[in-house]
Amino acid sequence: MHVPNPKLRRVISLSNIPKLPRNLIEEFKMRDGFTSTIPNKFDNYSPKAVSNMATTKLYAIMEAIADRVEMHVNVGEQRDNWNALLLNSINMITLTAATMAGLAAMGGTPLLAFKLSSTLLFSAATGMLVVMNKIQPSQLAEEQRNAARLFKQLHGQVQTIIALRTPTQKDVNDMMEKVLTLDRAYPLPLLGVMLEKFPTKFEPAVWWPRKLGELGKRINGKKMERNGWSEEMELEMREIVEVLRRKDKEDYVRLGNLALKINKVLAISGPVVSGIAAIGSAFVGSSSHGSLAMTMAVVGGALATIVNTLEHGGQVGMVLEMYRNCAGFFSLLEESIESTLEEGEVDNGENGELFQMKVALKLGRSLSQLRDLAKASASSRRDGNAIDEFGSKLF
């Protein structure tokens, strides 16, 4: 029986086998399907051992959120293409119909084809314009862009929870509720669940759970001076809320109402003018009202093109959605400050200095600028004057 050389055994021992680089091991795992399915652009957080079921559930929610982001980005691009393609197609159809109506007015039996073609094209353009004005593709695209941005923010919030502390079931429930609220605020399908594009009254967008009725009560109406909070800071935050409510939010609601009225007028005017042009083209060449019919067809086609370009080329629906989202942002910030100030348990709440820094960043201000704004607001209220400065420097 052959006995291997002991020196040879030492040479081929496991301790002498070089270790594979960590990045190569991770690549092998990815090829075998053992890694998360979250897109690479969200994989900037450090790996962490799954310590409990709540952490596992949050990772599952993160994957669902990443998938939502991808869906909203894709759908937003599709609906932006709808706006460009429909706008160009309808304008080309309308101008072609107007040209044919002018040729048909020259008279003669061979020009009957131009008359019929003009009527059909005007009718088709009117129908397409009604559908386009109903769904507002530019506004749909802006909704999806906002949804993708908000889901990315939510994804970052989940990452922060996992990185800073051990998650709990309450964190899971809160994130689930936020995801479902965002789904309702910015739906993907059109039929049955599409947001109303022409509401009777302009309302700011709401994409967060409303829980202000569950706030605790503060002792003696004042927040105790701990956890980074002070009475002076609390008064400053309340002044910021007043500025946001009286200036920023009110201004965007005013602009939103104006954009809504303009959009309604344009959405009605386009199909009406195009329909008049279709009726006029049907009577082109008649003995009694031929010249009037030709004028209705040609001028109506030109006006319909102008109105359609103003509405969808100018993306009035997108501007309306932008105002709605900005007004919702200030409503959310206002509610966030009020709920933090009304928090019953100070030590378990958010640190005051950290919260003040977050508010300043959201408004595009430094901490000193935020304090100056609060002082200016308090001074103007004492004097009975309206403050001229807006709270946000971003919008």
Amino acid 292: pLDDT: 86
Q: Which amino acid is at 199?
A: P
Confidence of residue 39 (pLDDT cuts 50, 70, 90): very low
Amino acid 129: pLDDT: 95
- In angstroms, rounded to a whole number, what is the distance separating the alpha carbons of residues 344 and 218? 5
Share of residues in the chain with pLDDT > 70 (%) = 79
Asked whether residue 46 carries a pLDDT value surpassing 70, the answer given is: no
Of the two residues 172 and 13, the one the predictor is more confident about is 172
Integer Rg of the chain from CA: 31
Amino acid 177: pLDDT: 94
* Cα distance from N-terminal residue to C-terminal residue, the chain: 86
pLDDT digits (tens, 9 = 90+) for 329-371: 999 999 999 888 887 555 567 788 899 999 999 999 999 999 9
Amino acid 377: pLDDT: 87
Cβ within 8 Å of residue 385, ≥6 positions away:
none
Of 67-81, 170-184, 284-298, the range with the lowest mean pLDDT is 284-298
Q: What is the mean pLDDT of residues 191-217?
A: 78
Confidence of residue 293 (pLDDT cuts 50, 70, 90): confident
pLDDT digits (tens, 9 = 90+) for 221-277: 444 567 778 888 889 999 999 999 989 999 999 999 999 999 999 999 999 999 999
Amino acid 25: pLDDT: 40
Asked whether residue 28 carries a pLDDT value surpassing 70, the answer given is: no
CA diameter of the chain? 121
pLDDT digits (tens, 9 = 90+) for 94-147: 999 999 988 887 765 557 888 899 999 999 999 999 999 999 999 999 999 999
pTM: 0.79
DSSP string computed for 135-195: H-HHHHHHHHHHHHHHHHHHHHHHHHHHHHS---HHHHHHHHHHHHHHHHHS-S--TTTPP
- In angstroms, rounded to a whole number, what is the distance separating the alpha carbons of residues 140 and 317? 8
Amino acid 40: pLDDT: 46
pLDDT digits (tens, 9 = 90+) for 83-93: 999 999 999 99
DSSP 8-class letter at 106? T
Mean residue pLDDT of the chain comes to 82
